[in-house]
Structure 1
Amino acid sequence: VRMVFDRNGNKRSHEFIRGLMKSAASLSYKQVQQAIDGKPDDATAPLLDPVLKPLWAAYKVITKAREARGPLDLDLPEYKIDIGKDGRIAGIRIGDKFESMKLIEEFMIQANVCAAETAEAQHRKVIYRIHDAPSREKLVALAEFLATLNLSFARGENIRPANFNRILREVDGTEHDRIVSDVVLRSQAQAVYSPDNIGHFGLNLRRYAHFTSPIRRYADLTVHRALVAGLGFGKDGQTDDEISELAEIAEHISTTERRSMIAERDSKDRFIAAFLEARIGAEFTGRIAGVTRFGLFVKLDDTGADGFIPISTLGGDYFHHDEIIHALIGERTRIAYRLGDLVRVRLEEAVPVTGGLRFELLEGGSEAPKGAGARSRAPAGRGGVKRGKYGGKSGRGGPRKGPQKGPKRSSHR
């Protein structure tokens, strides 16, 4: 697709062409970023002035329109697993983030919009990538949580991504930035495929159809076929039978997408558990990533590993699960373990076959806000009979729970 934008990043026109793509240089994101940053190599040096700089200038132009559109601006870390030549895990790190990645992403988004617009103009039925606005219940829960951090959130009838971005900017760089980003993500609906277009809330787009990856996503291939048929590019386009099955296809690929996301998450959990198995007894810092009636989920800072702290190991107290502030609160001690709190833990158990990790709390917790915990109907459970300075030493006050996995993360893109 050939796209023309004005100086403010607004698309003036586009045209689809059927042809063959050849990657002449096969550059990596890192290579392009280094070239733009003034460190070109043998492959990028000849392309810098005639190709890369004009491409970068075009990207900077369309980001103006993106900023004016105001899509949901979540920036969460992604952890990568490095595997050595011997097949063993060499390390776990936060993945690289280059602006060159955003360049490709922005142009792909524009191409996807063009695909949806052309399909509609040709009266071809296609599968859209849709993302509904958050439900009223999730917005109320989010507003109540933010209120505990003295943050206001307008949840009127016309909720927009800008409402969330304002909150994210307000907490950027503070101790609450990670937790607020996480809670905002959890408040979002799951993006799915559907022949019935309702728009894409997260990207703040009226029409959006995946088009850019037909070799790995079936939804994109169905869109290519629709365009081939609509534009008269050949006889291998969308058929009447395929049109009649689009709803079924959309439901199927939405299901398989969720299944593949779970498989990816499970495989990462197992790799991480195998990597940490040799470090049982070691101490780590992390943050509380999930709060349930049965205990706390903790995400480690250095590896992003998710593990579980059973409520039976939190100390000799009854704990109430306060769903509004996402916390376990001791009835007698009034100590609170809240979502996002910084904690120090010791690894007690790692099970690579399931990807489960179990921690013991060494440090963490703070005094509960006034009135917190009273909203719970019943105690969540009882902690152990021993109690350290920070609710640390494990006890025997409840059933022993094996390693569990952390809370699921929704995808809106």
Structure 2
Amino acid sequence: MRDEIFKEREDMLEDLIVRNEFYVPMKTKEIAILLNVPKEERYLLQEVLDSLVSQGRIGLTKKGKYIKAENVALIGTFTMTNRGFGFVTIEGREDDIFIKSSDTLNAFHMDKVKLVITSEKKGDRHAEGKIVAIVEHGITKLVGTYQKSKNFGFVVPDNNKISVDLFIPKEYSNGAVEGSKVVASIINYGKPGKSPEGRVTEVIGHINDPGTDIMSVIRAYDLPMEFPEELKKELKNIPDYVDEKDKAGRVDLRGLKTVTIDGEDAKDLDDAITLSKEGDIYKLGVHIADVSHYVTEGSALDKEALKRGTSVYLVDRVIPMIPHKLSNGICSLNQGEDRLALSCLMDIDSKGNVVGHRICETLINVDRRMSYTSVKKIILDKDEEETKKYADFVDMFFLMEECASLLRKKRFSRGSIDFDFPESKIELDAKGHPTKISPYERTTANKIIEDFMLIANETVAEDFFWQELPFLYRTHENPDPERIMKLSTFINNFGHSLRVSEEMHPKEIQKLLAKIEGSEEEILISRLTLRSMKKARYTTECIGHFGLAAKYYCHFTSPIRRYPDLQIHRIIKENLHGGLDKKRIDHYDRILGEVAIQTSNTERRADEAERDTDKIKMCEYMQDHIGEVYEGVISGVTSWGIYVELPNTIEGMVSLNNMNGYYIYDENHYEMVEQTTNKTYKLGQKVSVVVIATDKLLKNIDFKFLEDCYEDEIKR
């Protein structure tokens, strides 16, 4: 009887929804009156309402009133997982919303969706939701491996977050064969029980062909390789050498001793340094290529640069933001060539304070193109041959070290955090096969240039903040208190503490990292601390940079490879020429928000593409080392396995299936514990592993703990 009444009330409410009666929010009592529900049955009506809310069929306002689901729906981006469920990310909301596989409405990876919250966040549990509409498909094509059947085929997506294969009718295979890497457009997105359908639009190459792997990543992230014809026409009007008329009106700094310091292979040199000392004051000049002189607002060059957002540095190539004629030519601060620059000239006292500065358009000429290796040999190794070779500049390099040391000391005294995790250096042969992988060496010279770029970025940001002009800032927000609280609880197990507050100061993190330096738990706690941080992004508000403990920060120093730098160069120059009237200020107020979003997104895209190509080459490299034993450190512990990082920066996983015993994941302590013997694996622990398999498609490297291996699995 109760079930019948429940069903009857549910049908009545459904009819109410269909008839659009929920045009105003109503409380339970108002709905009961509308439906003539007796008082003694209202508890059952409440159950029906709760059930419909949990299903996402109606919505519930913060004031406890029921309303049409779409009226309380949120808009966000759906991220699929290979296990069917997913998450929706909403702009401005801290936490993602968990979507059960039954509540996805068959949404595809990266779809823009409308959803309702069915249960709010509780402790570590995500808020849960139900997708009620698909607003826009985010992915219209994908890259994958073609698998052929007799009368049709499938494309298995390279992106392992996409949990479904794409059905390809025979007539739409475009000549693809078994094992072809292809680009396929999606014709329809399928429905529960039916695969999405598509057509092959490009055959990249066979999976075993050299270069196909990297080109597949390029296509997957839709990274533009060719520049459009309209842009190429504009390039013809750009000179190979600085025109004499363009030198007029600039501060001529060609008489100053000027150097660039970069990697040996660098071709786009966008920053140069001058340094001298007068009494106790260091006269530091950071001179940045004036790209905006040639890439003007609204031009084809500008539109393409904004679209790309950043140069992308893949393992075997660079996809530039602007064409090589600019990046390696007229805009590159090449030795012995007159170049246009935008300079930040700073006076720095003996405590590392900037006591005076000037930002101006300049004309420079680089005296020496130096490498990090050469400067390190001179400063650190005291190499006689290198010192003799650059005798005229040696004093300047030691002065650079002196000045940079003061800036670094000042920065660290205010709480700047330095996570010094090594980057990977991957060396390839002529066919693109990896021959060596090692940590990238960060030398004294690297740090000097980094210190000088940081202080220039800070100085420019502070200048424009106080002028109250539209600007683009580089923002790193304070960490989420819940994440920091979780970190604090964990490090208590090691006898360390962390003062947690809403307005947490970076010095607290810095103190923690200083305490654990050299300890057994250093790697463990450093990694967990880094994971507790938020990601930096571009904003129009000057919110500050938590990691650098900087109140004011922007990106000024790399306009050849980053659009935000190019954008603020325009604003700076316009301001120098007195052109920032109300009309132009309104213009920048109008466009900068979109520029911030676009450049933050393209930066993430570049990071992910770079990471994917690195993983592919690491898999390829380790394929040649199956059965070999390595010493490593546990870098991650999850419910499905243990990640181990080797000294050469390669990371692989020991799957739970490849561990002898019955292990349970203890998420509070980041440990894997064997239930019978109590044997424990934890973050930061040193272990010996054997390489047992690699998978370039999934970008996975499989390890096994040495103690769990059989003799025939180990290469002797």
Give the TM-score normalised by the residue count of structure 2: 0.48
Provide the residue aligned with 1:372 in structure 2.
Answer: none
Contact 2:433 2:617 in 1 (8 A): no
- Structure 2 residue matching 1:206: 3-state secondary structure: coil
Provide the residue aligned with 2:419 in structure 1.
Answer: 74
Provide the residue aligned with 2:535 in structure 1.
Answer: 190
Q: What is the 5 A alignment of 1:166-177?
A: 166-177=511-522
Residue 320 of structure 1 pairs with residue 664 of structure 2: yes
**Which has the greater radius of gyration?**
2
Tell me the distance in 2 between the aligned counterparts of 1:197 and 1:7.
28
Tell me the distance in 1 between the aligned counterparts of 2:494 and 2:671.
13
Q: What is the 5 A alignment of 1:259-338?
A: 259-301=605-647, 303-317=648-662, 319-338=663-682
Aligned partner of 2:509 among 161, 164, 174: 164
Residue 349 of structure 1 pairs with residue 657 of structure 2: no
Provide the residue aligned with 1:408 in structure 2.
Answer: none
Deviation, structure 1 residue 242: 4.0
Higher strand content, 1 or 2: 2
Aligned partner of 2:545 among 200, 205, 229: 200
Deviation, structure 1 residue 335: 2.0
Provide the residue aligned with 2:372 in structure 1.
Answer: 29
Contact 1:277 1:352 in 2 (8 A): no
Tell me the distance in 2 between the aligned counterparts of 1:360 and 1:55.
48
Deviation, structure 1 residue 239: 6.8
Provide the residue aligned with 1:98 in structure 2.
Answer: 443
Aligned partner of 2:355 among 6, 12, 28: 12
Contact 1:122 1:231 in 2 (8 A): no
Matched to 2:514, the amino acid is R
Tell me the distance in 2 between the aligned counterparts of 1:279 and 1:321.
29
Provide the residue aligned with 1:254 in structure 2.
Answer: 600
Matched to 1:122, the amino acid is Q
Tell me the distance in 2 between the aligned counterparts of 1:285 and 1:52.
39
- For 1:240-264, what per-residue CA distance to the aligned partner results, in whole angstroms no more than 9, with x for missing partners? 4343121111111111111111111
Contact 1:314 1:393 in 2 (8 A): no
Tell me the distance in 1 between the aligned counterparts of 2:442 and 2:537.
26
Contact 2:465 2:552 in 1 (8 A): no
Bigger Cα displacement from structure 2, 162-171 vs 265-274: 162-171
Number of aligned residues: 363
Change beyond 3 A, Cα 1:160–1:304: same
Tell me the distance in 2 between the aligned counterparts of 1:4 and 1:176.
41
Q: What is the 5 A alignment of 1:29-48?
A: 29-37=372-380, 38-39=382-383, 40-41=386-387, 43-48=389-394
Tell me the distance in 2 between the aligned counterparts of 1:171 and 1:121.
38
Tell me the distance in 1 between the aligned counterparts of 2:401 and 2:678.
55
- For 1:156-196, what per-residue CA distance to the aligned partner results, in whole angstroms no more than 9, with x for missing partners? 34422221222212221122211121111111111111102
Residue 214 of structure 1 pairs with residue 559 of structure 2: yes
Deviation, structure 1 residue 321: 2.0
Q: CA RMSD in A?
A: 2.2
Contact 1:287 1:300 in 2 (8 A): yes
Deviation, structure 1 residue 286: 1.1
Provide the residue aligned with 2:572 in structure 1.
Answer: 227
- Structure 2 residue matching 1:209: 3-state secondary structure: coil
Change beyond 3 A, Cα 1:271–1:119: same
Provide the residue aligned with 2:486 in structure 1.
Answer: 141
Tell me the distance in 2 between the aligned counterparts of 1:315 and 1:80.
34
Matched to 2:700, the amino acid is G
- Give percent identity, aligned residues only: 31
Change beyond 3 A, Cα 1:122–1:176: same
Change beyond 3 A, Cα 1:158–1:124: closer
- Structure 2 residue matching 1:18: 3-state secondary structure: strand
Contact 1:280 1:347 in 2 (8 A): yes
Give the TM-score normalised by the residue count of structure 1: 0.82
- For 1:178-222, what per-residue CA distance to the aligned partner results, in whole angstroms no more than 9, with x for missing partners? 112111111111111110221111101111111000111001111
- For 1:277-304, what per-residue CA distance to the aligned partner results, in whole angstroms no more than 9, with x for missing partners? 1111112121211111111111122x21
Change beyond 3 A, Cα 1:158–1:122: closer
Change beyond 3 A, Cα 1:21–1:187: farther
Change beyond 3 A, Cα 1:160–1:123: closer
Provide the residue aligned with 1:367 in structure 2.
Answer: none
Deviation, structure 1 residue 26: 0.9
Change beyond 3 A, Cα 1:300–1:54: closer
- For 1:328-380, what per-residue CA distance to the aligned partner results, in whole angstroms no more than 9, with x for missing partners? 222333222211121111111112344211111224xxxxxxxxxxxxxxxxx
Deviation, structure 1 residue 58: 2.2
Q: What is the 5 A alignment of 1:324-403?
A: 324-363=668-707, 388=708
Provide the residue aligned with 1:128 in structure 2.
Answer: 473
Provide the residue aligned with 2:143 in structure 1.
Answer: none
Change beyond 3 A, Cα 1:61–1:233: farther
Bigger Cα displacement from structure 2, 248-257 vs 82-91: 82-91
Change beyond 3 A, Cα 1:87–1:321: closer
- Structure 2 residue matching 1:19: 3-state secondary structure: strand
Matched to 2:410, the amino acid is A
Tell me the distance in 2 between the aligned counterparts of 1:35 and 1:19.
29
Matched to 1:351, the amino acid is D
Tell me the distance in 2 between the aligned counterparts of 1:186 and 1:214.
29
Deviation, structure 1 residue 123: 2.9
Matched to 1:89, the amino acid is P
Deviation, structure 1 residue 238: 6.7
Bigger Cα displacement from structure 2, 9-18 vs 308-317: 308-317
- For 1:127-159, what per-residue CA distance to the aligned partner results, in whole angstroms no more than 9, with x for missing partners? 110111111111111112212222222223442
Contact 1:76 1:181 in 2 (8 A): no
Tell me the distance in 1 between the aligned counterparts of 2:364 and 2:660.
62
Tell me the distance in 1 between the aligned counterparts of 2:409 and 2:612.
38
Bigger Cα displacement from structure 2, 268-277 vs 308-317: 308-317
Tell me the distance in 2 between the aligned counterparts of 1:9 and 1:105.
15
Matched to 2:423, the amino acid is E
- Structure 1 residue matching 2:470: 3-state secondary structure: coil
Change beyond 3 A, Cα 1:305–1:63: closer
Contact 1:132 1:201 in 2 (8 A): yes
Tell me the distance in 2 between the aligned counterparts of 1:162 and 1:106.
19
- Structure 1 residue matching 2:643: 3-state secondary structure: strand
Bigger Cα displacement from structure 2, 330-339 vs 251-260: 330-339
Superposition misfits of 4+ residues, deviation over 4 angstroms: 237-240
Tell me the distance in 1 between the aligned counterparts of 2:632 and 2:505.
32
Contact 2:411 2:548 in 1 (8 A): no
Tell me the distance in 1 between the aligned counterparts of 2:406 and 2:529.
29
Aligned partner of 2:399 among 40, 51, 54: 54
- Structure 1 residue matching 2:483: 3-state secondary structure: helix
Contact 1:131 1:200 in 2 (8 A): yes
Tell me the distance in 2 between the aligned counterparts of 1:181 and 1:222.
35
Contact 1:360 1:393 in 2 (8 A): no
Deviation, structure 1 residue 29: 1.1
Provide the residue aligned with 1:380 in structure 2.
Answer: none
Tell me the distance in 2 between the aligned counterparts of 1:327 and 1:199.
35
